[in-house]
Amino acid sequence: MFFVKETKKHNEIKGLKELFLDYQSDPRGEIWPVFSESDFLPLFKEDKISISKKNVLRGLHGDSKTDKLITCIYGEIQLAVADMRKDSPTYGNCSMFHLSDGIPKSIFVPAGCVNGHLCLSEKCIFYYKWSEKYSGPLDQITIKWNDEKLNFSWLNKEPILSERDLNGINSKGVYL
């Protein structure tokens, strides 16, 4: 079994990749490879899992050094990504994805981009690999989930937010 069956690059954000996983299924269920060492992915140093209830929105968070590989292993999420890299030709561009446990794919988010996700199902499990060890929210930027410049089309206009996300900043002039 291979890790990735197909890779789709997204021109909206340089380095952003949608990875369609090479999964197997039989009458017992399915098995997905989530990660395998390869030429185009960095060495990941930490894995994290975020479990959320319906209508919880987490993010938009990011930093200048951490690549992420994101997979929804239970439920459904809406994933938003924005390029905040100062010297990027796609600075300020955004992409939105639908991920679920019924769709075997992962999203590779390059360092310098922020991401956030909205839980669409009663419960969702968001699994992600980090290229750097997480050192806490003070080493990340938090941009408002409803930033007017980024203009994400969230499926819930009144999500459940943490204090950190309620107090996010505007993206104008933010560079990672």
Query: 10, 117, 128, 175: which is the annotated catalytic residue?
Result: 128
Residue 1: per-residue pLDDT: 45
Determine whether 117 is an active site residue: no
Task: Pull the structure tokens for residue 81.
Answer: 């990504």
Determine whether 10 is an active site residue: no
The whole-angstrom separation of Cα 77 and Cα 59 is 13
Q: Residue 31: pLDDT band by 50, 70, 90 thresholds?
A: confident
Question: In the predicted model, what is the mean pLDDT of residues 47-74?
Answer: 97
Q: In this structure, is residue 94 part of a structural domain? A: yes
Query: 23, 61, 98, 117: which is the annotated catalytic residue?
Result: 61
Q: In this structure, is residue 16 part of a structural domain? A: yes
Q: In this structure, is residue 174 part of a structural domain? A: no
Question: In the predicted model, what is the mean pLDDT of residues 142-166?
Answer: 97
Q: In this structure, is residue 30 part of a structural domain? A: no
Do the beta carbons of residue 147 and residue 73 sit within 8 Å? no
Domain count for the chain, please give it.
1
Could you report the per-residue pLDDT of 89-144, keeping only the tens digit for each?
999 999 999 999 999 999 999 999 999 999 999 999 999 999 999 988 889 999 99
The whole-angstrom separation of Cα 174 and Cα 135 is 20
Q: What is the CATH number of the domain that holds 151?
A: 2.60.120.10
Q: Is 169 helix (H, G, I), strand (E, B) or coil?
A: strand
* Structural domain span for residue 138: 4-23+43-166
Q: In this structure, is residue 91 part of a structural domain? A: yes
Q: In this structure, is residue 171 part of a structural domain? A: no
Q: In this structure, is residue 173 part of a structural domain? A: no
> In sequence order, which ranges of the chain are alpha helices (DSSP H)?
163-166
Q: In this structure, is residue 38 part of a structural domain? A: no
Q: What is the pTM of this model?
A: 0.91
Q: Quick check: 37 pLDDT over 90?
A: no
* Pick from 107, 115, 166: nearest CA to 140: 115
